């Protein structure tokens, strides 16, 4: 019966995920067919019929459970900006302190339910003690969700909506605690204890080490250097930076070692470890990843209490069914999938890898098997999230994970020790510093990461089919012929998946106008595999260079930027250039010679490209058959860097012309194009502002397509009705990134194929 329970549980999990997709929700006839199958199985009396009934019931229950992800009833839906007063509970573990205020998540109650992300500019870290877990009313401006839609990147808006997120709320006044809705006293007590420990850490360590240790012990990413987060991400160690399942596992492992040294019985050790593990989880504030890890660890401890060896497959299956039964939106939660997948890799794959490495010293083979097992289980998910294969991950896990987590254990001991605690905290700081320097050195290696392009879902299915076949061939006792068939199947599936990851030999010519909110960023891919980037977005909604442009290029399989064209140095055009250059080395950068923006100076100082070319107009360059012409660049040399200094870049390929105009005002537009210069695609100047898109300029350009890069519900009112009217009179077909997401033009013979990502 065990295998049927596992089969039913797996089917329930898969059906829950399938039931959450909108296409299934629109075809409820499939649910009716599943119900009919269940009824047909129920009338049979044999043992086989009962097993089939279990599987059919799991299928139906999973489909019905998944429908909760897309059921609009009783769900808060925000369609447009509006003032609102929301009542709800401040979600534990959601509090984030930032330099410009605080952020937390409000779970609305009463009427329509949903999750709302609240930004409070005047909030302070001390407000967490009063509000966390409290029932409050918050008043402010409610806005719809704003996520970017770009090629190869996860559709966060789709996922957040299915996880119950409704929008954002910007508030100015403190949320009012409702009568009887005060935060539990134990939360306030734990907050005070955490603050006392943080002060002790701050007194003993430099600020950078203290911020890192605080996040490792208590959760969050507050106060961390972005470069440090980047280095840990590139080396596959980002999970160390905050409370995660690995910390709970480390604590349990340390406690287990102490129990063995003390000679405690198995059941006594299980009880003690359970108290220790859950005590740490509560002390951290019930951070979601730690709770999941504690539940998984509790499964093993319960098996020890009952005197039974843990059944990893059955336990994981039932635990997944419990999680998804309580919250079906976890089926699309990246954090849950990564943590659960890595746990499955530790329990199932790591022992098989360790068996193959048994001839190696145990000090090396065990950590290596753990790292390989965990990474193999979540590799496609990690690639889908970042498009980066961390070649340095195994080395980093072997060398620096023990160092960083050892520093955490030493720090915990120092915080709890009655004497000598300060010395232990200093030792922990030294260990963290060594780990940080090692990770930074490894991250800076040219081959630390390998960008891999986006693959479709069926390629991910091929990977897991090959992994399952390989695992079965390694562990199951079977005939040599069947084992060989499994090995061949694993090789074919994994080989096909790897082939899908390789970049195309001839990518063709394509231009992508990226969705970066209120800013500009575009990518040109040449037929020979070169990469041209025009502007790099802003830092207003997170650094666009790192958050959008670099991952998009990784999804195309590009390691470097051959040419960066900056129209001018304003924040919304050049703000992401520094972060982009940190991730993707730049061969050559062009910018207006009269533009003295600080962002350009910072780019040239921190990440100098191989060649720098200030342009004034008339410059040209041929790259893989793609021609770049500078029609005009900059106004008077007055020592300022305004919109009138925008450079006009004309990209040409086989008669297809694309004109990029930055934020140029109408006067500069007309000066740049003093004769008829037909272009096929025009990037509308200044995001559709009324001061640009002059009628005479549009008549000279005669664009067939007009692309407006603009943020949804932006505070400037872009694009203006007057500019849209002039574009319509010219006969342009208008595309907007706030409505269509990213927009691409791909060369298909004599025509351009247009795609959008929303």
Give the pLDDT score at 748.
86
Q: Whats the size of the chain, residue-wise?
A: 758
At residue 265, what are phi and psi to the nearest 5 degrees?
A: -70, 165
Give the pLDDT score at 659.
94
Task: Name the CATH topology of 510-756.
Answer: Metallo-beta-lactamase; Chain A (3.60.15)
Give the pLDDT score at 212.
86
The answer to whether residue 635 scores a pLDDT higher than 60 is no
Partner residues linked to 103 by β-bridges: 96, 119
Indicate the range of 19-28, 510-519, 529-538, 643-652 predicted with least confidence. 19-28
The answer to whether residue 56 scores a pLDDT higher than 90 is no
Predicted confidence band of residue 503 (pLDDT cuts 50, 70, 90): low
* Residues 6 or more apart in contact with residue 331 via CB below 8 angstroms: 13, 16, 17, 20, 66, 69, 324
Own/partner pairs, 120-129, CB within 8 angstroms, 24+ separation: 120/171, 120/172, 120/174, 120/175, 121/170, 121/172, 122/172, 122/173, 122/174, 123/174, 125/97, 127/102, 127/174, 128/95, 128/97, 128/102, 128/191, 129/183, 129/187, 129/188, 129/191, 129/192
The answer to whether residue 24 scores a pLDDT higher than 60 is no
Overall average pLDDT of the 178-198 stretch? 86
Overall average pLDDT of the 105-129 stretch? 88
- How much is the mean pLDDT over the chain? 83
Q: CA neighbours within 13 Å on the CB side: how many for 104?
A: 29
Overall average pLDDT of the 281-310 stretch? 73
Q: 181, 199, 200: which is closest to 125 by C-alpha?
A: 199
Overall average pLDDT of the 535-553 stretch? 86
Residue-wise pLDDT for 340-362, tens only, equals 888 888 778 888 888 888 888 77
B/e letters for 163-199, b = 16+ CB within 10 Å, e = fewer, are bbbbbbbbbeeebebeeebbbeeebbebbeebeebbe
The span from the CA of 398 to the CA of 216, in Å, is: 19
The answer to whether residue 564 scores a pLDDT higher than 90 is yes
Beta strands 705-708 and 733-736 are parallel
Predicted confidence band of residue 39 (pLDDT cuts 50, 70, 90): low
Give the pLDDT score at 118.
94
The answer to whether residue 234 scores a pLDDT higher than 60 is yes
Task: Give the three-class secondary structure for 155.
Answer: coil
Give the pLDDT score at 38.
62
Token pair in block for residue 206: 């430099």
The span from the CA of 289 to the CA of 349, in Å, is: 21
Q: 477, 751, 534: which is closest to 650 by C-alpha?
A: 534
More confident residue, 580 or 217: 580
Give the pLDDT score at 222.
66
Q: 504, 558, 511: which is closest to 530 by C-alpha?
A: 558
The answer to whether residue 103 scores a pLDDT higher than 70 is yes
Residue-wise pLDDT for 514-530, tens only, equals 999 899 999 999 998 89
More confident residue, 278 or 453: 278
The span from the CA of 655 to the CA of 212, in Å, is: 54
Q: Where are the alpha helices (H) located in 561-705, listed in sequence order? A: 571-574, 577-583, 598-606, 666-672, 695-701
The span from the CA of 236 to the CA of 229, in Å, is: 11
More confident residue, 371 or 105: 105
The span from the CA of 745 to the CA of 56, in Å, is: 47
CB 121 within 8 A of CB 101: yes
Predicted confidence band of residue 115 (pLDDT cuts 50, 70, 90): very high
The answer to whether residue 512 scores a pLDDT higher than 70 is yes
CB 318 within 8 A of CB 298: no
Task: Give the three-class secondary structure for 418.
Answer: coil
CB 577 within 8 A of CB 599: yes
* Residues 6 or more apart in contact with residue 246 via CB below 8 angstroms: 239, 240, 293, 405
Overall average pLDDT of the 10-24 stretch? 74
Residue-wise pLDDT for 147-182, tens only, equals 899 998 888 888 888 888 989 999 998 999 999 888
Residue-wise pLDDT for 296-306, tens only, equals 778 777 776 76
Give the pLDDT score at 170.
92
* Residues 6 or more apart in contact with residue 72 via CB below 8 angstroms: none
Indicate the range of 118-132, 407-421, 652-666 predicted with least confidence. 407-421
Give the pLDDT score at 339.
80
The span from the CA of 115 to the CA of 163, in Å, is: 8
Give the pLDDT score at 637.
47
Q: Where are the alpha helices (H) located in 444-543, listed in sequence order? A: 457-475, 480-501
pTM of the model: 0.85
Place of tokens 């336990």: 315
The span from the CA of 184 to the CA of 166, in Å, is: 26
Overall average pLDDT of the 688-693 stretch? 89
The span from the CA of 667 to the CA of 628, in Å, is: 23
Of 418-422, 517-521, 592-596, give the range with the top mean pLDDT: 517-521
At residue 647, what are phi and psi to the nearest 5 degrees?
A: -90, 145
Predicted confidence band of residue 469 (pLDDT cuts 50, 70, 90): confident
Give the pLDDT score at 137.
93
Give the pLDDT score at 220.
64
Overall average pLDDT of the 732-742 stretch? 93
The answer to whether residue 476 scores a pLDDT higher than 70 is no
CB 553 within 8 A of CB 722: no
The answer to whether residue 318 scores a pLDDT higher than 60 is yes
More confident residue, 442 or 58: 442
CA angle 423, 427, 431 (to 5 degrees): 170
Task: Give the three-class secondary structure for 681.
Answer: strand
Own/partner pairs, 430-434, CB within 8 angstroms, 24+ separation: 431/403, 431/404, 431/406, 431/407, 432/209, 432/212, 432/213, 432/404, 432/407, 433/209, 434/403
Percent of the chain residues topping a pLDDT of 90:
22
Q: How many CB atoms lie within 10 A of CB 574?
A: 31
Rounded to the nearest 10 degrees, what angle do helices 401-416 and 185-204 cross at? Answer: 110
Give the pLDDT score at 2.
67
Indicate the range of 52-66, 577-591, 741-755 predicted with least confidence. 52-66
CB 289 within 8 A of CB 335: yes
The answer to whether residue 82 scores a pLDDT higher than 70 is yes
Predicted confidence band of residue 735 (pLDDT cuts 50, 70, 90): very high
More confident residue, 244 or 104: 104
Place of tokens 């091929």: 462
Predicted confidence band of residue 309 (pLDDT cuts 50, 70, 90): low
Q: Where are the alpha helices (H) located in 531-590, listed in sequence order? A: 544, 550-555, 571-574, 577-583
Token pair in block for residue 188: 């306030």
The answer to whether residue 45 scores a pLDDT higher than 60 is no
Give the pLDDT score at 164.
87
Task: Give the three-class secondary structure for 255.
Answer: helix
The answer to whether residue 645 scores a pLDDT higher than 90 is no
Is the domain spanning 82-183 CATH 2.40.50.140? The answer is yes
Give the pLDDT score at 416.
80
């Amino acid at each position: 019966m065990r295998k049927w329970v596992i089969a039913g549980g797996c089917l329930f999990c898969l059906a829950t995920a399938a039931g959450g997709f909108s296409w299934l929700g629109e075809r409820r006839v499939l649910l009716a067919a599943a119900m009919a199958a269940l009824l047909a199985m129920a009338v049979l009396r044999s043992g086989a019929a009962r097993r089939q009934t279990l599987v059919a019931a799991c299928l139906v229950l999973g489909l019905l459970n998944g429908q909760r992800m897309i059921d609009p009833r009783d769900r808060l839906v925000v369609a447009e900006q509006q003032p609102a007063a929301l009542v709800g509970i401040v979600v534990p573990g959601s509090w984030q302190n930032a330099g410009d205020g605080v952020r937390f998540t409000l779970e609305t109650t009463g009427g329509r339910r949903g999750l709302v992300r609240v930004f409070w500019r005047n909030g302070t870290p001390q407000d967490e003690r009063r509000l966390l877990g409290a029932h409050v009313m918050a008043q402010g401006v409610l806005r719809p969700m704003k996520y970017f839609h770009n090629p190869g990147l996860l559709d966060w808006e789709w996922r957040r909506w299915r996880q119950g997120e409704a929008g954002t709320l910007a508030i100015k006044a403190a949320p009012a605690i409702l009568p009887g809705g005060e935060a539990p006293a134990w939360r306030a007590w734990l907050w005070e204890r955490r603050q006392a420990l943080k002060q002790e850490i701050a007194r003993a360590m430099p600020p950078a080490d203290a911020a890192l240790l605080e996040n490792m012990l208590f959760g969050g990413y507050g106060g961390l250097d972005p470069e440090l987060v980047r280095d840990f991400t590139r080396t596959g160690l980002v999970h160390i930076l905050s409370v995660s399942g690995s910390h709970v596992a480390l604590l349990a492992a340390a406690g287990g070692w102490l129990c063995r040294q003390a000679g405690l019985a198995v059941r006594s050790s299980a009880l003690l470890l359970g108290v220790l593990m859950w005590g740490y989880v509560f002390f951290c504030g019930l951070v979601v990843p730690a709770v999941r890890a504690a539940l998984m660890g509790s499964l093993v401890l319960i098996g020890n209490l009952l005197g039974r060896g843990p059944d990893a497959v059955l336990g994981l299956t039932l635990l997944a069914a419990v999680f998804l039964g309580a919250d079906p939106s976890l089926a699309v939660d990246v954090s849950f999938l990564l943590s659960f997948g890595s746990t499955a890799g530790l329990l199932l794959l790591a022992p098989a890898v360790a068996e193959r490495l048994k001839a190696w010293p145990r000090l090396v083979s065990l950590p290596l098997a753990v790292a390989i097992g965990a990474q193999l289980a979540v590799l496609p998910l990690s690639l889908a999230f970042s498009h980066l294969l961390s070649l340095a991950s195994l080395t980093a896990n072997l060398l620096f994970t023990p160092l960083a987590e050892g520093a955490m254990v030493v720090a915990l001991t120092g915080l709890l020790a009655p004497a000598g605690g300060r010395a232990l905290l200093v030792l922990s700081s030294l260990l963290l510093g060594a780990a940080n320097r090692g990770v930074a050195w490894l991250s800076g290696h040219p081959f630390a990461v390998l960008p891999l392009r986006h693959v479709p879902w069926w390629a991910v299915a091929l990977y897991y089919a090959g992994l399952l076949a390989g695992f079965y061939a390694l562990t199951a006792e079977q005939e040599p012929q069947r084992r060989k068939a499994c090995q061949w199947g694993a090789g074919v599936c994994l080989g096909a998946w790897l082939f899908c990851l390789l970049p195309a030999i001839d990518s063709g010519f394509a231009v992508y106008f990226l969705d970066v909110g209120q800013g500009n960023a575009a990518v040109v891919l040449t037929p020979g595999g070169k990469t041209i980037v025009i502007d790099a977005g802003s830092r207003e909604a997170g650094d666009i260079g790192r958050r959008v442009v670099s991952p998009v290029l990784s999804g195309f399989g590009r390691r470097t930027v051959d040419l960066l064209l900056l129209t001018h140095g304003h924040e919304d055009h050049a703000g992401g250039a520094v972060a982009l250059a940190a991730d993707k080395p730049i061969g050559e950068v062009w910018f207006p010679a009269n533009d003295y923006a600080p962002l350009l100076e910072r780019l040239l100082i921190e990440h100098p490209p191989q060649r720098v070319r200030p342009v004034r107009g008339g410059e040209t360059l041929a790259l893989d058959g793609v021609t770049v012409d500078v029609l005009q660049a900059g106004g008077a040399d007055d020592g300022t860097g305004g919109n009138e200094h925008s450079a006009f870049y004309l990209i040409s390929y086989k008669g297809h012309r694309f004109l990029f105009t930055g934020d140029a005002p109408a006067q500069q537009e007309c000066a740049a194009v003093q004769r008829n210069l037909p272009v096929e695609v025009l990037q509308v100047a200044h995001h559709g502002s009324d001061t640009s898109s002059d009628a005479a300029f549009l008549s000279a350009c005669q664009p067939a397509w007009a692309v407006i890069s603009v943020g949804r519900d932006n505070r400037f009112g872009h694009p203006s009705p007057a500019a849209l009217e002039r574009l319509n009179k010219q006969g342009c077909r208008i595309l907007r990134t706030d409505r269509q997401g990213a927009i691409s033009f791909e060369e298909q013979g004599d025509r351009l194929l247009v795609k959008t990502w929303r």
